[in-house]
Structure 1
Amino acid sequence: MSTSERYSRQILFAGIGKEGQKKISEKHVVIIGAGALGSGNAEVLVRAGIGKLTIVDRDYVEASNLQRQQLYTEEDVAAKLPKAAAAQKRLRAINSNVDIRAIIGDATPEMLEELAGAADLLMDATDNFETRMVINDAAQKYRVPWIYGACVSSYGMSFTIIPGKTPCLNCLLKTVPLQGLTCDTGGIIGPAVQMVIAHQTAEALKILAEDWQAVRTTFVSFDVWRNEYNQMKMGKAKNPGCLSCGTHPTYPYLQKENQTKTTVLCGRDTVQVRPAKPLKLSLQRFADQLRTAGYKVNGNPYLVSVEMEEERMVIFTDGRALIHGTKDLAHAKTVYQRIMG
């Protein structure tokens, strides 16, 4: 199959053309997360003919993923295939000309620094803010653009971050309310996922084709159920004193002391997970959210206990949690971030 035939409709688009298609085919994109956003972003970019894709994910395919994670099948669920491996297999069947690398594991600061140094674009498809902040610092340190994206319930948001030009995610935390429910506590519908994917991949193609003037400079958010769509200008959010992108950056989220800490409790089938910085949780509100999401919840003024299929999670007001029923640190961290966001 000839390249000109395969990408003919994309080449006809004035924003890309032959020169833009050539540039796209030479670029390396790293997608962190192979869930709803990651699988959708990966498919669009592989079909668009990027040169190389690296996709990182630590989880495996579950039945609840099939409602919105478009690369996976019932066979993947039955085989408990790691998402990165299942995605790689499917993507290679879609476009064998793309160099596709799957990394099955946690996106650590060390890994993301290595990947950022060899990438043309980083794409956020994670489910937690700890990893996003590490992506942000790695992108700033190695001067690589990255695209933030998130969705929960019927709500989604996206922002394109260009080091040296736009505010970074660390800057935005003081301006935009980014944290809230997770898919495990607030649910999610497919159209919200697809809308975020459309925004992220449109920006990705602009960057890969090097049409920098077309890159969106606003923070976009929407609610597809309530028919709401908003854009915010973010230029004034850029903070010269930001430790991630300011005049004297220290890249704090690449440092070990700012990472979630996990410990197996001696003599117990339990992992303790402690956030990098203590939280101040409203246990009653948190318990109500979990009950609404269908979890069996008990508690008192000091803690909330959540029953899951295989584990029991006890959360304290400072964000510390005990994951009972496992000694696997990586799995415990995944459970924690699914519930806590």
Structure 2
Amino acid sequence: MSNLERYSRQILFHPVGETGQLKLLESKVAIVGVGALGTVIANHLVRSGVGYIRLIDRDLVELSNLQRQSLFDEEDARLQLPKVIAAQKRLNRINSTVTVDAVIADVNLENAEELLMEMDCIVDGTDNFMTRFLINDVAVKYEIPWIHGAAVSSRGMFTSIIPGKTPCYRCLFPHVPTGRGETCDTVGVLSPITDIIGSFQALETIKILIGEKTTSNLEQIDIWDYSVMQMDISNGKNPNCPACVNHQFDFLDRASEQQVIYTTLCGRNTVQINPRNRRKLDVGKLAEVLKKSGRVSGNDYLLRFFPDEETSMVVFKDARVLIHGTNDVVKAKLLYSKYIGN
């Protein structure tokens, strides 16, 4: 029992008990997106003793994150650490017995199955619909439960999606919404709502891992006016759903019109370029080359290049680039081609 002492108060909670705790210790969870929701989810799951947690995120820590992304601090922002690396360092200090696997990547059709297919549960910490549809395709294809969550302004929602038992995400949202909609970068967000939604997502994950019943609702909360709405989705399965009924996984299909390489990040004046062909960049050598054309900073995980006063390029080792200072995809492609290659 000595190895379980750190979880003693959780074990005293009867629905978990020692049996449930042992299940948690043997479980594998992927958290996609380590921002406001993902940091809360990861914090709870590591403290709860989930044995293996894979953190996947494409971005680096910035000062504007610190208002709500609870695993990061000013030093992480100063060092321009990738979010998964900063989170991993903090989580290892919280619970060294948990394996925290940090993956610096944008989840896309090239890597989604490899990153997610062997997990016992997937948790949504993302901020965009395309990634959620992709997670849903993987989850349905491999029969992996996943927890959807979202938060913006003072509002948030979450639900559990269990293939074969509940409606899938595409049953609930048949089409990728047109337009950009509201995001944290356009209308803001209050940190208490991300804490609340992330905590509920962590709870739903724990329930799934120990075999307890999860919510049958799409739970919606607004903390500004203290309102709660529970939408029963148990009968929401679409009999013609492309994903969970017809097993047509459009977001994993390379020929699908759903696929993109160039993505504008809403509200951030940023374009992400994610090359289809995988390759490894030596960012150290690239930094030496780019110093001839502009200012360069960085660390072991990425470099930041300033080709002019208005634009900066964050280059990751997998050749993925975030181009800050523009929403113009044509300009972004030209910069990528000029400084990184085709």
Kindly state the Cα deviation for residue 245 of structure 1 after the two structures are TM-superposed: 0.6
Is residue 193–residue 223 contact of structure 2 (8 Å, CA) maintained in 1?
A: yes
Describe the superposition over 1:148-191 as per-residue Cα deviations: whole angstroms up to 9, x where unpaired.
00000001000100001111111111599997301000100101
> 1:151 aligns to what SS in structure 2?
strand
Is residue 29–residue 53 contact of structure 2 (8 Å, CA) maintained in 1?
A: yes
Mapped to 1, the partners of 2:185 and 2:176 lie a distance apart of 22
Kindly state the Cα deviation for residue 322 of structure 1 after the two structures are TM-superposed: 4.8
Kindly state the Cα deviation for residue 115 of structure 1 after the two structures are TM-superposed: 2.7
Alignment match, 1:312 = 326
Number of residue pairs the alignment of both structures matches: 281
> 2:335 aligns to what SS in structure 1?
coil
Give the % identical residues: 46
Is residue 120–residue 145 contact of structure 1 (8 Å, CA) maintained in 2?
A: yes
Describe the superposition over 1:243-299 as per-residue Cα deviations: whole angstroms up to 9, x where unpaired.
1111x2111111132122429xxxxxx9798xxxxxxxxxxxxxxxxxxxxxxxxxx
Gaps of 5+ in 1: 264-269, 274-306, 315-320, 330-341
Alignment match, 1:239 = 238
Mapped to 2, the partners of 1:234 and 1:326 lie a distance apart of 46
Q: 1:322 to 1:237 in 2, by over 3 A?
A: farther
Kindly state the Cα deviation for residue 109 of structure 1 after the two structures are TM-superposed: 2.1
Describe the superposition over 1:43-93 as per-residue Cα deviations: whole angstroms up to 9, x where unpaired.
100000011000001100000000000000100000000001111111111
Mapped to 2, the partners of 1:272 and 1:81 lie a distance apart of 18
Q: Which amino acid in structure 2 is aligned with residue 327 of structure 1? A: L
> 1:216 aligns to what SS in structure 2?
coil
Alignment match, 2:167 = 167
Alignment match, 2:140 = 140
Q: 1:152 to 1:311 in 2, by over 3 A?
A: same
Is residue 109–residue 134 contact of structure 1 (8 Å, CA) maintained in 2?
A: yes
Q: 1:10 to 1:326 in 2, by over 3 A?
A: farther
Kindly state the Cα deviation for residue 4 of structure 1 after the two structures are TM-superposed: 2.7
TM-score, normalised with respect to structure 2: 0.77
RMSD: 2.6
Gaps of 5+ in 2: 264-269, 274-309, 313-323, 338-342
Q: 1:127 to 1:191 in 2, by over 3 A?
A: same
Among residues 313, 317, 335, which one is paired with 1:327 in the alignment? 335
- Asked if 1:35 is matched to 2:35, the reply is yes
Q: 1:120 to 1:76 in 2, by over 3 A?
A: same
Mapped to 2, the partners of 1:210 and 1:2 lie a distance apart of 24
Q: 1:244 to 1:325 in 2, by over 3 A?
A: closer
Is residue 125–residue 149 contact of structure 2 (8 Å, CA) maintained in 1?
A: yes
Mapped to 1, the partners of 2:34 and 2:146 lie a distance apart of 16
Q: 1:25 to 1:8 in 2, by over 3 A?
A: same
- Asked if 1:200 is matched to 2:212, the reply is no
Alignment match, 1:183 = 184
Structure 1 runs (4+) greater than 3 angstroms displaced: 174-179, 270-273, 307-310, 321-329
Alignment match, 1:61 = 61
